[in-house]
Chain A
Amino acid sequence: MAYLISKENIKVLLDALLAVKEVYAPKKDAEETVLFGKLAGSSEWHGDSLLTHTTAKDKVYLQSERFFNIKKDKDGVRIEEAEEPEEIVIFGCRPCDARGFDILNKLFNWNNYVDEYYTKRMEKTTIVSISCLKPESTCFCTSFAKGSPVDATGSDVLLTPLKNGSYLAETFTEKGKGLISNNSKLFAEAAEVDTKEKELFKTEAEAKIVKKIDLAAVKKLMEPAFESAYWDTVHLPCVKCGACTFVCPTCYCFDITEKAFDNINSERVRSWDTCMNELFTRMAGGVNPRTDTKKRFRQRFMHKFNYHVDNFKEELCTGCGRCIKACPVSIDVRKVIEGVK
């Protein structure tokens, strides 16, 4: 079912939402960087920029998350589990970020093991995405099977801006329907011309993304290329900062550590990790299967465009292009994977 919401009502909607839930939307931080932040009022919403510097990933998959508290004293050991997560709304992320969540959902439910920290939080999260009118030069979402500036994968609601200033609002899940029915006064029913306009929007927006990569061909190139001399040189500019994995909507690798406060209290923590870090695979005793940058660099690209495809039938990438912008030495994922030989 499709609806319409006017530009003015979007702000009213935001204020209505944040009266009952936490709402995370693009907003400027103290340094004027646009990030997903908790809105205090609709005026803080900065809807103009295409991509936030980092993704909204950390709102569901926390950068650092306490699994539980541990109390160890003369009565034994007690494990106190974390509080239940709050309901939140992620407002105004882009289709590539929403699809990133869809990819993470599968990983955290993979192999019959449900990661309940992520899953519970995701159950309480409503994702409202906005179609992209002006893709940037770093965008390459259309290279992916589902990717598009109007793709709804992972979104509960997708808003598409129309020429008259209002938005076409489509719902894809019960959560999405709930969001609209709870605020039904702000929405009108969309007419056929509006959904038709979205088709035009799609054609126009997709045409702006000039770079299209044949990912099936890339996978084929990668299969036999593990030992290829290509990796000997392509990694050389990399300074191992890990910025690429940090800004990625799909990078999920994590570490589990324990932090002791004293002899009695400690906490088990999960935190984002990066395959670009040397310690990532180093075993107790010092043996490390991925000792140098070449191996770690190869792992990052092979994982995203080869191994993950074997396991999940889709790439571990959505084409948002953030890693291209974040890399201090301008390593471009598109060039790296297309150049594999």
Chain B
Amino acid sequence: MSNIYKPHIAKVMDIKVETGDIKSFKFQFVDQAAQKVFTWKSGQFLILNIFGVGEAVFTFANPQTRNEFIECSIRKVGLASEAAHELEVGDTVGIRGPYGNWFPFEKWHGKNLLYVAGGVGLAALRSPIEFSLDNKKDFKNITILYGARSPMDLCYKDKFSDWEQVKDTNMILTADKGAEGWKHKVGFVPAVLKEVHPSPKDTVAIICGPPIMIKFVLKELLDLGFTPEQIITTLEMRMKCGLGKCGRCNVKHLYICKDGPVFSYAELKDLPEEY
């Protein structure tokens, strides 16, 4: 019997400042054999232990296809994430997981993928984006529409050119407010989506961002003719155990940590808005 609450001990291998309040971390288990057999799927999350402070939930930022490290992008919003921002390379943390369900890529072979992300929402989509790029032969066109308040607030700026180089991949960047030297679009993500006007034919839309953005992106997608089944998103809830036991992350009888965090809009629209 192994203890489901006991984390793997890991080291901080690299830290990168993404924006004013977001940092990206690379972790590696101290036990290298355990690291080798540790697998996860895009969409799943982990529980990070900052020893002396506590635990917090983050999605895997990298896909299994790039698994030398375990990567997380952390926005400074609470006690644990503030403590995470204090971490330095070489520090020790704990990691338990993976938890939750994942993006059902095997069902999407031969389809176009449309990613729509806002702000730190891209942290939850980087793993599926890179997974699909690494398995590009299984998919048709990949479009990534990403926006933030300002160019300064965009995460993963260093990754964009690699992503774009993959055949039949298109990146559209936007900022609510532009800045000097900004050569991309200016405007809110939903408005840009409308302008880009993607066809729903053979396409799956995968969206993540602040609730208000999700709301308007959903509306645009439905207007464009996407069916609720074609729209996929990932939910955020207060979580403690990640295992369906502590009883706090439910919407109706579903536990976001166990039955989610990935849901289609078809599933969500039948749920009460208690998330």
In the complex, the answer to whether A79 meets B6 with C-beta atoms within 8 Å is yes
- Of B171-179, B183-191, B222-230, B250-258, which binds chain A? B250-258
Proximity string of chain B (223-267) to chain A, C-beta cutoff 8 Å, 1 when within and 0 when not: 000000000000011101101111111111100001000000000
A81-B3, A256-B5, A289-B275 known; A280 vs B253 contact (CB < 8 Å): no
Interface secondary structure of A, over-half rule: mixed
Chain A CB within 8 A of B54 CB: yes
In the complex, the answer to whether A114 meets B52 with C-beta atoms within 8 Å is no
Q: Return chain A residues, CB-CB under 8 Å to B211.
A: 287
Q: Return chain B residues, CB-CB under 8 Å to A290.
A: 274
In angstroms, how far is the closest chain B Cβ from the Cβ of A300?
A: 11
- Of A64-72, A146-154, A209-217, A323-331, which binds chain B? A64-72
B-facing residues in A96-147 (Cβ within 8 Å): 107-108, 110-111, 113-117, 119
Chain A CB within 8 A of B79 CB: yes
In the complex, the answer to whether A284 meets B55 with C-beta atoms within 8 Å is no
A81-B3, A253-B247, A275-B247 known; A76 vs B54 contact (CB < 8 Å): no
Give Cα A115 to B241, complex, Å: 11
B-facing residues in A225-241 (Cβ within 8 Å): 226-227
Chain A CB within 8 A of B51 CB: yes
Given A68-B6, A119-B1, 4 more contacts at CB 8 Å?
Answer: A226-B252, A254-B246, A270-B5, A281-B238
In angstroms, how far is the closest chain A Cβ from the Cβ of B129?
A: 24
In the complex, the answer to whether B246 meets A307 with C-beta atoms within 8 Å is no
A81-B3, A303-B250, A307-B250 known; A113 vs B244 contact (CB < 8 Å): yes
In the complex, the answer to whether A307 meets B1 with C-beta atoms within 8 Å is no
Give Cα A259 to B251, complex, Å: 30
Q: Return chain B residues, CB-CB under 8 Å to A108.
A: 245
In the complex, the answer to whether A77 meets B9 with C-beta atoms within 8 Å is yes
In angstroms, how far is the closest chain B Cβ from the Cβ of A121?
A: 13
In angstroms, how far is the closest chain A Cβ from the Cβ of B214?
A: 13
A116-B3, A290-B274, A295-B274 known; A252 vs B80 contact (CB < 8 Å): no
Q: Return chain B residues, CB-CB under 8 Å to A116.
A: 1, 3-4
Query: Can you offer 20 A-B residue contacts whose CB atoms are under 8 A?
Result: A67-B6, A70-B51, A72-B51, A110-B244, A110-B245, A115-B243, A117-B5, A227-B272, A254-B240, A256-B240, A266-B52, A273-B248, A280-B238, A285-B77, A288-B238, A289-B251, A303-B247, A307-B252, A308-B253, A311-B253
Give Cα A113 to B96, complex, Å: 13
A77-B94, A290-B274 known; A283 vs B247 contact (CB < 8 Å): no
B-facing residues in A287-306 (Cβ within 8 Å): 287-290, 295, 299, 302-303, 306
A273-B246, A282-B238, A285-B78 known; A307 vs B253 contact (CB < 8 Å): yes
In angstroms, how far is the closest chain B Cβ from the Cβ of A315?
A: 13
In the complex, the answer to whether B248 meets A280 with C-beta atoms within 8 Å is yes
Chain B residues within 8 Å of A, Cβ to Cβ? 1, 3-7, 9, 30, 51-56, 77-81, 92, 94, 211, 236-238, 240-241, 243-253, 258, 272, 274-275
Give Cα A119 to B275, complex, Å: 31
In angstroms, how far is the closest chain A Cβ from the Cβ of B265?
A: 18
CB nearest neighbor in A for B251: A289
Q: Which 5 A/B pairs are nearest by Cβ-Cβ distance?
A: A284-B78, A253-B247, A310-B253, A307-B253, A285-B77
In the complex, the answer to whether B52 meets A260 with C-beta atoms within 8 Å is yes
Chain B CB within 8 A of A263 CB: yes
Among A70, A113, A281, the residue within 8 A (CB) of B4 is: A113
In angstroms, how far is the closest chain A Cβ from the Cβ of B89?
A: 15
Size of the chain A interface, CB-CB below 8 angstroms? 53
Give Cα A285 to B78, complex, Å: 6
Q: Return chain A residues, CB-CB under 8 Å to B274.
A: 289-290, 295
Give Cα A119 to B1, complex, Å: 10
In the complex, the answer to whether B4 meets A253 with C-beta atoms within 8 Å is no
In angstroms, how far is the closest chain B Cβ from the Cβ of A108?
A: 7
CB nearest neighbor in B for A279: B238
In angstroms, how far is the closest chain A Cβ from the Cβ of B1?
A: 5
Q: Return chain B residues, CB-CB under 8 Å to A283.
A: 78, 236-238
In angstroms, how far is the closest chain B Cβ from the Cβ of A74?
A: 11
Q: Return chain B residues, CB-CB under 8 Å to A252.
A: 245, 247
In angstroms, how far is the closest chain A Cβ from the Cβ of B257?
A: 10
In the complex, the answer to whether A77 meets B51 with C-beta atoms within 8 Å is yes
Q: Return chain B residues, CB-CB under 8 Å to A79.
A: 6-7, 9, 94
In angstroms, how far is the closest chain A Cβ from the Cβ of B191?
A: 24
CB nearest neighbor in A for B50: A258
In the complex, the answer to whether B52 meets A72 with C-beta atoms within 8 Å is yes
Proximity string of chain A (244-281) to chain B, C-beta cutoff 8 Å, 1 when within and 0 when not: 00000000111111101001001010100101000011
A108-B245, A284-B81, A311-B253 known; A76 vs B30 contact (CB < 8 Å): yes
In angstroms, how far is the closest chain B Cβ from the Cβ of A133?
A: 35
